[in-house]
Structure 1
Amino acid sequence: MNNISILGSGWLGFPLAQVLSEEFSVKLSTSTNEKLDRLRGENITPFIVDTTNLNDEVDKFLCSDILIINIPSKNIDGFKELIKHILNSSIKKIVFISSTSVLKDETSPLLEIERLFKNTNLKITILRFAGLIGYGRNPAKFFPKGKAVKDANAPVNMIHRDDCINIIQKVINQNIFDETFNCSAPSHPTKKEFYTYCAEVSNLPIPTFDLEENSNPQKIVESNILISKLNYKFIHEDLMKIVF
């Protein structure tokens, strides 16, 4: 049985650990003591790991076969220090959760962190997730009254948490490493269409829309390589059918 360590126990990390714990022995990190008791009750071994202040606890946490990195930090120095610990551990494979935001910003710290991991001898698959939705994340809530949705005719790139977890599972179970995948649902309605739908199905106020075109318009993110390599079929293919 593979042992898996998951760095980050937030909106994605915690439910991911719950799913993987049905199949693997799972260690899960949190940066706060308050979460420890809750995590212990989930057939998960919890650890306190703070990437801004690493100590001996991280070496125990990294005593696994596979590491999934799922934290929002863009602290390059912190990741350099983490990599030193990883290279001295039993970790041989990494799933690194990144973002499709790196596709439009070549100076992104996140892109630099991707490169740091690629420059090691570790087998790493980078998953660049599009906008995360589902389970409390409703895009209609991003625009309180008075805040307009800019570039409203641009396409959206989104992915549901169910698909994020399923993709990670398939990468591990199919042993698909040394890859980089852009991960976005196949449908791409406009912001106006999608945010209106999100508001209507949730009985929320419909946002106001700025139809002026952006000088640097958002492009559609395709997941063709992901679909081909993993033989993947999205759980939530049509964004206009998601129930929030």
Structure 2
Amino acid sequence: MSTNATVANSNVTARPSVAIVGLGWLGEPLALQLLAQGYRVAGSTTAQDKAERLANAGIQTLVWDINVPLPTQWPAALTANTVVLCVPPGKVSDYANTLGRVAGLAAEGGVQRLLFTSATSVYGGLGLKTEADTGPDSERGERMWAAEQAVQNSGVGEVLCLRLSGLVGGSREPGRFLAGGSFEGGDEPINLVAQEDLLRFIPAILGRNNWPKTLNASAPHHPSRREFYGQAAQLQNLPAPRFSGGGQGKSIDGSALGRWLDLDYQVTNWFAWLAERNQK
């Protein structure tokens, strides 16, 4: 099969298997964690040097750019029972169609379950939002909602769209996000989830059966943008962002995920998280 791809490390065993399409900010540490937990882990990246590094760590790695014409079959290097589709919109043209086709290839290749890291941009309007409140009111939200539908309709037997709030932790330092800028909506609540919580939740999801179709991942603390980003910038010795106006905004309810997994969020106070992170 010709796939515009190269493969590193082709060892296959009988261990539980997961393939992660997109070994980036979340996909790479997730792959390493699952490997440590006994999974056989494969994944894809667009960078040859990263593929070689991860192969040396024991992760079968495919160099694969899904923006180029897709293969006619699911890549053998990504053979697995479960796929985690972990590719953000900024990395893919024609996002919904491309992800739907990738998921369709996975279904044809025998993948039984697919976890898609979606986003809470699928919620529009104001106030508290649960999984039942889908209704995008932005171009970004419409694109993500279309991607969810394409993946759900791909033919994979079990699909979970895990809707992530804003991502922080690891290399994503929130103190740098808005530092020194001018913004509206200072009173709007933040909706964030930390990398360390996702690295607890996703392996727990993979260990469960009977997945729901959608779940939100969003920490239960929602201080204002003014408070959070001001404190985050200050701790990094960066100029604080300037906010004008108030704004009600929306708050994402991520509690259903914790209840389903019987697993609490570690990050329950963002100011404590910022202070602890600043001390490391």
TM-score normalised to the size of structure 1?
0.91
On the 8 A contact 1:196/1:207 being kept in 2, the answer is yes
> What is the distance in 1 between the residues matched to 2:100 and 2:257?
28
Per the alignment, in what secondary structure is the counterpart of residue 234 of structure 1?
Answer: coil
Residue 12 in structure 1 maps to residue 41 in structure 2: no
Q: 2:163 aligns with which of 128, 139, 158?
A: 128
- Equivalent residue number for residue 104 of structure 2: 84
When the two chains are superposed, the root-mean-square deviation of aligned CA atoms in Å is 1.8
In the superposition, relative to structure 1, how do residues 118 and 42 fare at CA in structure 2: closer, same or farther (>3 Å)?
same
On the 8 A contact 1:62/1:89 being kept in 2, the answer is no
**TM-aligned CA deviation for residue 117 of structure 1:** 2.1
- Equivalent residue number for residue 114 of structure 2: 94
On the 8 A contact 1:93/1:177 being kept in 2, the answer is no
> What is the distance in 2 between the residues matched to 1:118 and 1:58?
17
**TM-aligned CA deviation for residue 237 of structure 1:** 1.5
Structure 1, residues 99-136: CA drift from partner, whole Å, max 9, x if none?
11111225611111111222235201111110000122
Unpaired runs of at least 5, structure 2: 1-14, 125-135
Residue 69 in structure 1 maps to residue 89 in structure 2: no
Per the alignment, in what secondary structure is the counterpart of residue 51 of structure 2?
Answer: helix
In the superposition, relative to structure 1, how do residues 125 and 148 fare at CA in structure 2: closer, same or farther (>3 Å)?
same
Per the alignment, in what secondary structure is the counterpart of residue 39 of structure 1?
Answer: helix
> What is the distance in 1 between the residues matched to 2:239 and 2:73?
47
Residue 156 in structure 1 maps to residue 171 in structure 2: no
Deviates more, 1:224-233 or 1:135-144: 135-144
Unpaired runs of at least 5, structure 1: none
In the superposition, relative to structure 1, how do residues 202 and 57 fare at CA in structure 2: closer, same or farther (>3 Å)?
farther
Per the alignment, in what secondary structure is the counterpart of residue 27 of structure 1?
Answer: strand
On the 8 A contact 1:153/1:191 being kept in 2, the answer is yes
> What is the distance in 1 between the residues matched to 2:104 and 2:114?
14
**TM-aligned CA deviation for residue 183 of structure 1:** 1.0
In the superposition, relative to structure 1, how do residues 188 and 235 fare at CA in structure 2: closer, same or farther (>3 Å)?
same
Deviates more, 1:78-87 or 1:149-158: 78-87
- Equivalent residue number for residue 230 of structure 2: 196
Q: 2:67 aligns with which of 52, 64, 68?
A: 52
TM-score normalised to the size of structure 2?
0.80
Per the alignment, in what secondary structure is the counterpart of residue 10 of structure 1?
Answer: coil
